[in-house]
Amino acid sequence: MMGNKECAHLLLAHNAPVKVKNAQGWSPLAEAISYGDRQMITALLRKLKQQSRETVEDKRPKLLTALKELGDFYLELHWDFQSWVPLLSRILPSDACKIYKQGINIRLDTTLIDFTDMKCQRGDLSFIFNGDAIPSESFVVLDNEQKVYQRIHHEESEMETEEEVDILMSSDVYSATLSTKSITFSRAQSGWLFREDKTPARRPSLTPPAPNTISWEEYITADNGKAPHLGRELVCKESKKNFKATHFNKLREFVQMKLPPGFPVKLDIPVFPTITATVTFQEFRYDKFQQSIFTIPNEYTEDPNRFPDL
């Protein structure tokens, strides 16, 4: 970040690790954001996602080996949210899931398609992981009502990458490792009777820092762990949250708790003071299944846009 962009691009071309940090906890991506260099941010972000996918693929053989050693089974569970507030439990989401595992193949059947505006959209979906297929074709979603399927792709589109760069350039820089996922945005509306879309005001990008006065020789000859600071001055933001001792006591009781024998097994997890998540394991058995339930039926057609968020 001393203006040597050619060196940075050369390192990226030779697949230098992007997910590294210096002694102060700054990553190359965080420093590029602090300088407001959109081209460098985009290049680092793409390389970071590429290296993340490669890391997952490197771990894939071990994952498949562990999955194969695990016994074949069938698991049926039901999850929902409950509340003592009147009528609140009726509008909270719930679903019954069926899981089939055989060899290195897994299938999950569910009926909950979407939950928006406090309303559940029901259907008949199946998520299939085929460990024998190539990575780009190993994860498929079936819509059993419309008889279509969609493959889940690994790479993001150009538009999604640009949107993520916009967010990075207009947000505070934190020295932390975050998991980025697809985000769905909808326009905010105003008005009581005649509602109309608001015109969002985009937060301005961070201004570039003052010109750098540190030479390359000063930077590389600095003591280990005491490299000169580049970019903006660090701003410490502190947030605190007080926990009562009862929270840790309940956590210890939960860890030490022994599950009752047999099925069903019901697990209640407090989420908010007024809402509790409930997971009920209704059935579990070791079993064998027909291989056809882990493949795409012949009568199904491919629809790449059936689930836009995937």
188: CB partners within 8 A, 6+ apart: 197, 198, 200
- pLDDT given for residue 177 in this prediction: 47
More confident: 199 or 275:
275
Peptide bond into 264 cis (omega under 30): yes
What is the reported pTM?
0.56
Element of type H or E holding 101: strand 94-102
pLDDT by residue (tens digit) across 96-140? 899 999 999 999 999 887 777 767 778 899 999 988 888 778 889
Comparison of pLDDT for 282 and 241, the residue scoring more: 282
Tokens of 4: 């040597």
Of 181 and 31, more confident: 31
- For residue 50, pLDDT beyond 70: yes
pLDDT of 64 strictly over 50: yes
248 close to 269: Cβ distance less than 8 angstroms: no
- pLDDT at position 247, please? 58
Q: In the block, which residue shows the tokens 């009147």?
A: 86
The pair phi, psi for residue 96, each rounded to 5°, is: -115, 125
Close Cβ partners of 267 (under 8 Å, ≥ 6 residues apart): 278, 279, 280, 281
Residue 144 near residue 297, CB atoms below 8 Å: no
- Res 88: pLDDT: 77
Per-residue tokens: 253: 């009781």
Q: How confident is the model at residue 4 (pLDDT cuts 50, 70, 90)?
A: confident
**Whether pLDDT at 62 is above 50:** yes
pLDDT for position 100:
94
Could you give the CA distance from residue 88 to residue 116 in angstroms, rounded to a whole number? Answer: 15
Q: Look at residue 95 in the predicted model and tell me its pLDDT.
A: 87
On the question of pLDDT at 241 being above 90, the answer is no
